[in-house]
Structure 1
């Protein structure tokens, strides 16, 4: 930014020199009666100054846009890194449409702010002062006119600034609302068609689009009116200087060369202020977008602060929860209330309970999405908070209830677990997950492109690719978060056999699985309202006739999963 401003200010200094030599040439040729040959040196100098000014203008533009491009790239990288560090839990309450708007339109708005508005603001602050410093010793009257009229332009900008800021804010909020609602409609398109509510949503989108159009027109109206007013002020101010110099020249109070030099400087004096007014809209749009970017960068979450230690004896993993309390937001209702349990290496723990009991919170804690509000989690006797995040997650395989597939090939999606895995290992993982058969039927096998979110694949097929990732990762700790939810009976039965192979030799946390899988667990932990209600082997819990037995009875009567 310093170099950009320096080039602009240097251009302004050269404009002073250009005006001086131009006034001298006109005075010598038209009033002094000299031949052009006598002023050839001055003409060449003027031509050189014009070329240098053109070069400086070009370099200033190039550097300004390079600066803006670097700022946009750095901001996108920083914002993406920050959002990734927050994790899914902290971002759950942030509208996806707003995030998308900030990452795309918001950051793009900063280009005009950094490439045009800020450099022009620097020139508007410096160049008039430099010109005034030249004019003041030469002619106090002209300097006084410039000194009195120039502040009118920034004063006017301040007066319209608040209104323009409100209008820009309204336009930005409407754009966020439009993006969020449009994404929401796309995500629920099937439901809207099913219940015949498409027309209502079209009407809502049309209404918000009109609001955005009106907000945009209000912003443009203020921008054009302010530009017109600023041009008028600058023109009138220049005219005042010209009239005052003309009258004084007429009465012989000032020499022609001096008067003409001052007259040439007058437009250069007001030009930075006029151009600042024309970039004022870009400045307001950039400031509005920057406010949202700063807000996102200031978001904090319950993500685990990465430690520095490495996991000892990573071939096997044992876990211990010691009176762990957890909440998703500060001051919110606790999701877990003082639960304690131990899980030996190679053993399987099933976590069951009604919806909202805190089952998935255990997975969120182990994955580092949130941190315990109190208590501690030990891994092989080491505090999880002291382990390096990237190091720890290499030892955890996670199979969620709704796996996400990214735009790319089937092999690319499986390789997320191990990017450097050879194709032979990818195919072996596909076979182990029972996915090889359906993958082979795809047009290009493992090189078949799948859409974002697994478009073109069934829910069971997406789940098998997620299990293939777990096989490929071959981590000692496995977390299954309702991995069979939403599948039909036959698909669940096939998946159970696959999961049984995946569980072999691994420490496992199995959350709200089907009854057949839960019965295979070494221990069952029953949660109720975030508290540990029961824990023990399946047979022992059935004998107790407690909470677990009631859950079994409810499942048997209603055909629901535990």
Structure 2
């Protein structure tokens, strides 16, 4: 909890609520005992007010716990999304079912533990002043509840469903991604059996966990009930023989269950929190991204861009770019060509700040790109990826996301008058909508990654005309000879080397 936002404060507030609950329990027990021995209207009103005050403390604790849980889960989701990406399936499961399971831990288990740490001790001290024999019985039987809870907790520590759920989610996502390949090689049925087997394993683990939870609840209830009986029966016999006053006997009978109730509640809520704790550990284990720069970026319309010994390596592919030295002058129109997998898209990704060089640096106007504020730098860029994403809505609404100059951009992309839903567009038209969105953006650097991949002859001519009209610095990854001829410079990328 110390690593979470507001964690220390939340624990302090829970401690205060625990102390307030202990005071409310003692006051309520005294007033109820007085009312039951000598029932009067005033005693009933006062006892009712005490019960209402205790209920109000519980309500306030739940409100604080719910708000804290919402804040913590939001912070953890932001941390996971901002962190270094890992396995996509496990990450999605963590962001949804995983962190949702943290709420029972924050709103149920921790408040119950805070109450269980204070109330039994307060009740035991009060019983010692009222009747030492009853206090000794409670002191001897009270540790049985946490002992049994600890034993059950050790048994269920290895039965958390989170790991199985994360594996199932990750494998299912991999199957969906590879479905075309599986259909091609007729392996869909085999993978269906694998997913079905993993789902059955998760179901069996869930049922085993629930069985242990129900059995442990039965054990805790039985221990607490027998412990209360060990106090209640002797007190009743002493009351009949006149060995104890009626007010004292009733007070003991009211207070004794209160000593065991918080421990039983904490033990019952333990099982609902185990998955949340596993998800919390997974969220905290997500590597934090490198520190982002805060410097204000130069305008690429007037600043040059220099690659100085840039090398980009991936753990599974090795070096994708190797010692790239390149200078881009303001206003240049550059075409980037080369075979597939040579590193062309990675070159654009480095300029976008999506990939950090393993060695070397990219300088914009002499300032290292890593020192620039990423959001401010990307505000100067317009980018059309190989597979652009269009949002649900009209063509105009999608183009308007790029910038205010919608009509000019639509005309440049030869989409004037086309304002229907994007779901009715052809692949080539969708590519031109993405181009119009980039043209509508007031950018100083335009990056186009294979923009002609889905265009017909008409679309290619539209793109070429729009590219000629650009006065910004631009890089286009293309293979068509017409683009190579129109470029002010052509860069060839082979095996990560730019020539």
**Aligned to 1:335, what secondary structure does the other structure show?**
strand
Match of 1:22 in 2: 32
- CA 1:19–1:462 in 2, change beyond 3 Å: closer, same or farther? same
- CA 1:22–1:341 in 2, change beyond 3 Å: closer, same or farther? closer
Structure 2: give runs of 5+ residues left out of the alignment.
Answer: 1-9
- CA 1:114–1:186 in 2, change beyond 3 Å: closer, same or farther? same
The reply on whether 1:176 has 2:156 as its aligned counterpart is: no
Match of 2:488 in 1: 522
Match of 1:214 in 2: 204
Contact 1:164-1:219 within 8 A present in 2 as well: yes
1: distance between equivalents of 2:121 and 2:71?
Answer: 31
Match of 2:253 in 1: 263
Residue deviations 1:169-209 (CA, integer Å, cap 9, x gap): xx222322333344444445555556655444433332222
Match of 1:560 in 2: none
- State the Cα distance separating 1:78 from its structure 2 match: 4.7
The reply on whether 1:305 has 2:271 as its aligned counterpart is: no
Match of residue 390, structure 1, among 375, 395, 404: 375
Match of 1:156 in 2: 148
Match of 1:364 in 2: 349
Contact 1:316-1:506 within 8 A present in 2 as well: no
Match of 2:113 in 1: 121
- CA 1:148–1:97 in 2, change beyond 3 Å: closer, same or farther? same
2: distance between equivalents of 1:140 and 1:372?
Answer: 73
TM alignment of 1:224-373, pairs within 5 A: 224-249=214-239, 253-296=243-286, 298-300=287-289, 305-311=292-298, 313-328=299-314, 333-373=318-358
2: distance between equivalents of 1:315 and 1:272?
Answer: 67
- State the Cα distance separating 1:284 from its structure 2 match: 1.0
2: distance between equivalents of 1:41 and 1:325?
Answer: 83
Match of 1:466 in 2: 434
Contact 1:307-1:385 within 8 A present in 2 as well: no
**Aligned to 2:192, what secondary structure does the other structure show?**
helix
Contact 1:349-1:521 within 8 A present in 2 as well: yes
Contact 2:383-2:438 within 8 A present in 1 as well: yes
Match of 1:552 in 2: none
1: distance between equivalents of 2:21 and 2:221?
Answer: 21
1: distance between equivalents of 2:276 and 2:117?
Answer: 20
Greater CA deviation, 61-70 or 71-80? 71-80
- CA 1:3–1:386 in 2, change beyond 3 Å: closer, same or farther? closer
- State the Cα distance separating 1:276 from its structure 2 match: 0.8
Match of 2:73 in 1: 72
Contact 2:109-2:273 within 8 A present in 1 as well: yes
**Aligned to 1:309, what secondary structure does the other structure show?**
coil
2: distance between equivalents of 1:278 and 1:403?
Answer: 50
Contact 1:113-1:283 within 8 A present in 2 as well: yes
- CA 1:434–1:205 in 2, change beyond 3 Å: closer, same or farther? farther
TM-score by length of 2: 0.88
TM-score by length of 1: 0.79
1: distance between equivalents of 2:212 and 2:399?
Answer: 53
Match of 2:129 in 1: 137
Match of 2:21 in 1: 11
1: distance between equivalents of 2:283 and 2:114?
Answer: 24
2: distance between equivalents of 1:130 and 1:513?
Answer: 80
2: distance between equivalents of 1:56 and 1:382?
Answer: 57
Residue deviations 1:70-118 (CA, integer Å, cap 9, x gap): 33344444544x25xxxxxx53xx3333222222212221222221111
How many pairs does the alignment contain? 488
**Aligned to 2:325, what secondary structure does the other structure show?**
strand
Match of 2:101 in 1: 109
Contact 2:320-2:346 within 8 A present in 1 as well: yes
Residue deviations 1:22-51 (CA, integer Å, cap 9, x gap): 323444x4xxxxxx5xx4432322122122
2: distance between equivalents of 1:151 and 1:213?
Answer: 34
- CA 1:530–1:192 in 2, change beyond 3 Å: closer, same or farther? closer
Match of residue 414, structure 2, among 434, 440, 464: 434
Match of 1:542 in 2: none
Match of 2:157 in 1: 165
Structure 1: give runs of 5+ residues left out of the alignment.
Answer: 30-35, 84-89, 536-562
- State the Cα distance separating 1:124 from its structure 2 match: 0.8
Match of 1:509 in 2: 475
